[in-house]
Amino acid sequence: MNKLRKEKNSIPIHMAAFIICAAFYLFFAFRYGVYLGSDSAGYINMISAREPVYPLFLALFRKLFGQEHYLFAVIVFQNLLMAAAVTALCTYLKKRFELPYFIYAALFLTHFAEALLTQYAAKRAVVYTNSIMTEGITLSLWLIFMLMCFGIREKGLSLAEAGNVLIILLLCAFMTDVRKQMAMGYVTLFAVMFFDRKSFKKPGEHIRKTAILAAAMVLSLILALLGTGLYNYALRGTFARNTRDMNLVLTTTLYVADREDAGLIKEESVRELFLKTMDILEETESNYRFAGKGLRELEEHYEDKYDVITVNTTGPLFIEYAQEHGFKSGMEAEAEADRMSAVIVKSLLKDNAASYIRVYLASLINGFVNTIAARHRILDIYAMAAYIIFTALMVMCYRKEECYDAAVIGMSVLTAIVVNVGVTAALIFCQSRYMIYNMSLFYSAGLIMLWSIIKNRREPVKSGPGITGRQVKVGNEECKKDT
């Protein structure tokens, strides 16, 4: 009864928290307005290289609010969605860990700090909820996804949780059709559910449940692919996945390639295209040979030249080359561009594996730093120290039964970071825009683990009948100290 009364009394506080949170995010919408990035036109124009959900989302708002005002309506919605996601996550964590209100407030501040940094300290100088890019909604959806992960992990995989598991898998499919990077949710969910110390006590049952979860994930991924295919069929008359997917791996393959690698490509027309591409990369110094010697210099150079290779070079060049060879503009030429990209990647990747791995390692380092800070020699050291402290807190919580739930939050967030950085580094490069999903979660999890340790050290040992005081140790003996 007391717990119900306490929860009822806290409702006005949580409502006030949402209002403050909404006001905070809406400030950016009304103060700075709509941000159009280099990718925005592709979503607005519904090009085939973009996933279906965000272009459809923009089209819906265009229908509802008209051509002149719809983009501002979009960012208002995106900021309100972020406010709702942040409030829901912070409120869940407060209830689960019985956090005092100053820790509750601190959780909100980790999200507010992230927004302030992206607006006032980052090069792009924009809060992502103001942008007409997929990050406008995927940042919020990711917080909701992690909230659901925490909830399912708390209660365990069971028939009672089947409904929530279904919802989170539908959310995974939806997020993947917003941005393919969000397929990291499948790997994160599986890892979070599989590595459960308590479930290992019943290994047979645990393996059976995770096998069912894996099968359900496959069905969810098929649903995402089906959604993309139906979108292209309705819009372009062709049931197909998005075009230019191979362009991600192609960019790194070309960056680490040498002109002499042309001999590895057996198909003559593709070999000719490769040589044309290498001529442009040579002129623009967009190749690993023009980078500095260290991993940091390599990553900085690659990041600087990424759009030169992808947007300015291979994007238009490969499609034009396909059209010159008789393929019709649109999906047909783009599909041929993808095929030629795949030929180049398959032909060159094996012989350039060492250089590719070097770029990958440089991107990994960049990704782990950008997830919780930004690249700077001092901040690099800070990030390393922060990860060490975070891991230490996680180990301490893991070893204490009363703090184990806090360790689960830490492990879940760290898993999400590793998955995101690892996959993104392999396919593209780890700029802040792709890494920011887990920044506030990292600091929130750290706060919860630290508070859990402090709380359980401060709590007195329960006394028996007629005994007061707390238990202390003197030498090897335990006694009761009166208070």
Q: Is 106 exposed, middle or buried (0-12, 13-18, 19+ CB in 10 A)?
A: middle
* Mean of per-residue pLDDT scores for the chain: 89
Q: What is the model's pLDDT at position 474?
A: 38
Return the DSSP state at 263: G
In whole angstroms, give the CA distance from residue 482 to residue 457.
Answer: 18
pLDDT-based confidence at 461, cuts 50/70/90? very low
Identify whether 469 is part of a domain: no
| pLDDT above 70 for 478 | no
pLDDT tens digits, one per residue of 377-422 = 999 999 999 999 999 999 999 999 899 999 999 999 999 999 999 9
Identify whether 264 is part of a domain: yes
Mean pLDDT calculated for residue range 433-453: 96
| pLDDT above 60 for 465 | no
The span from the first CA to the last CA of the chain, in angstroms, equals 31
Sequence-distant (≥ 6) Cβ neighbours of residue 430 within 8 angstroms: 363, 364, 366, 367, 370, 421, 424
pLDDT tens digits, one per residue of 287-315 = 999 998 889 899 999 989 998 999 899 98
pLDDT tens digits, one per residue of 325-378 = 999 988 889 999 999 999 999 999 999 999 999 999 999 999 999 999 998 899
Identify whether 255 is part of a domain: yes
Q: Element (H or E) spanning 473, and its range?
A: strand 470-474
For residue 23, what are its two tokens?
């006001």
What are φ and ψ of residue 134, in 5° steps?
A: -60, -30
pLDDT tens digits, one per residue of 206-215 = 788 889 999 9
User: pTM for the full model?
Assistant: 0.90
Domains in the chain, number: 1
Identify whether 149 is part of a domain: no
CA proximity to 243, closest of 302, 309, 318? 318
Mean pLDDT calculated for residue range 220-240: 93
Mean pLDDT calculated for residue range 160-166: 82
Identify whether 253 is part of a domain: yes
What are φ and ψ of residue 125, in 5° steps?
A: 55, 50
For residue 164, what are its two tokens?
């929530």
Give the rounded percent of residues in the chain with a pLDDT score beyond 90: 72
Name the residue range of residue 291's domain: 247-352
Q: What is the model's pLDDT at position 435?
A: 94
Instruction: Choose the weakest-confidence range: 213-217, 246-250, 325-329, 422-426.
Output: 246-250
Q: What is the model's pLDDT at position 196?
A: 73
| pLDDT above 60 for 137 | yes
DSSP structure string for 329-358: TTHHHHHHHHHHHHHHHHHHTTTTHHHHHH
| pLDDT above 80 for 39 | yes
CA proximity to 364, closest of 296, 285, 448, 265? 296
| pLDDT above 70 for 6 | no
Mean pLDDT calculated for residue range 112-137: 94
Identify whether 323 is part of a domain: yes
pLDDT-based confidence at 463, cuts 50/70/90? very low
Residue 323, classed as helix, strand or coil, is helix
pLDDT-based confidence at 473, cuts 50/70/90? very low
Sequence-distant (≥ 6) Cβ neighbours of residue 465 within 8 angstroms: none
Q: What is the model's pLDDT at position 10?
A: 77
Q: What is the model's pLDDT at position 202?
A: 78
| pLDDT above 60 for 471 | no
Identify whether 295 is part of a domain: yes
Sequence-distant (≥ 6) Cβ neighbours of residue 188 within 8 angstroms: 149, 412, 415, 416, 419
Identify whether 290 is part of a domain: yes
- State the CB neighbour count (10 A cutoff) for residue 210: 17
Return the DSSP state at 164: H
Instruction: Choose the weakest-confidence range: 4-13, 28-37, 286-295.
Output: 4-13
